[in-house]
Structure formats: structure tokens, C-alpha cells
Amino acid sequence: MAQVRCPFCHEYIDSRDFPAHRAEHVKDRGDGQQNEYATLPPEEREEGDLIDVPRVYVHQKCGVMTGMPEEIIRSYLKNPYLYSADETFCCGCGKHVPFRECHWTETGEDLQTYTDKLRAAKPEMKPSGCLGLVLVGVGLAGAVAAALV
């Protein structure tokens, strides 16, 4: 039986069972976010400290800040093509919004420009054909404390 490695929990799943398995991971939690988001397996993620890496972004339309989860940052630093939807969750709007409408609080750069630069630096990671998996927008763990706003 062929197996695939689940991009959410990184377990090996029989390919026949994978569609149902994946559906559980991407179920809406009830607040517009998915249960879980795809990441790279822990051993494949970017290592080292994230001191200079932006982590909190503001959605221009609503002005609410959202924090990017570390496991997602470490995944897209390694493979900037992973989240090809170019959308991210906004805690203010309760839905996924375009990268272009968000900017990092740390650098002021919009997320689309940031991602494009990461991709340009790693052209060898560019997917050449069908990935076989639909990769979704970046998910977010939760709003940054209201005190920051």
C-alpha cells in the first residue's frame, strides 16, 4: 500500500485514506481558521534563532495585528513556495486576506513583497509541476495581545 506523508501531522498515511485524513486537518475551527495548517516536517524546518525575522503583521483594512506561528515561519523560510495561496489569516476580519493587504510591524514591509523576495532567493525550490496537494494560506495561532494595538 502506497503511503503519503501528511503535511499537517507528518504521519505516514495510506494514500487511499489520505483524503479523509486531510479533511479532518483542514476543517474550519468555527472562527474562520482551519484546525491546522500544513508545515514542513520538524526536521526539515529552518533552524536557528529568528531574531531578525518579522513575526507580527497588521492588516491595513482593519488595523488588527496577528502573530505568525513559529512552525509556519520556520516552514516558509525553508520553502517560500509552501503557502502558495498568498493569503494569511487576519484575526480582525476572521478570514484569510491577501498578503498584499498586510505588513510586518517590525519592518513595515508588506507580506507579498517579503514572500516574493524569499522566493526569488530560492528559485530552486519552485514547484515544477503538480504538487498533488493543495496548499492553503498561512494560518495563524491567534491575535497578538490587544494591549499591543
Min CB(10)–Zn ion separation in Å: 7
Pick from 62, 118, 135, 143: which binds Zn ion (CB under 5 A)?
62
Q: Binding to Zn ion by residue 93, rule CB under 5 A?
A: yes
Question: Are the beta carbons of 83 and 137 closer than 8 angstroms?
Answer: yes
Question: Does 96 participate in binding Zn ion (rule CB under 5 A)?
Answer: no
Q: Which is nearer to Zn ion, 79 or 101 (CB)?
A: 101
Backbone angles phi, psi at 36, to 5 degrees: -150, 165
Alpha-carbon gap, residue 47 to 24, rounded angstroms = 29
Cα-only R_g, the chain? 16
Number of residues that bind Zn ion (CB under 5 A): 8
User: Is residue 4 a contact point for Zn ion (CB under 5 A)?
Assistant: no
CB-based contact 97:90 (threshold 8 Å): yes
CB within 8 Å of 26: residues ≥ 6 apart = 8, 34, 35, 36, 136
- 9 touches Zn ion by CB under 5 A: yes
Per-residue interface string for the shown chain with Zn ion, residues 42-61, x marking contact by CB under 5 A: -----------------x--
The footprint of Zn ion (CB under 5 A) covers 6, 8-9, 59, 62, 90, 92-93
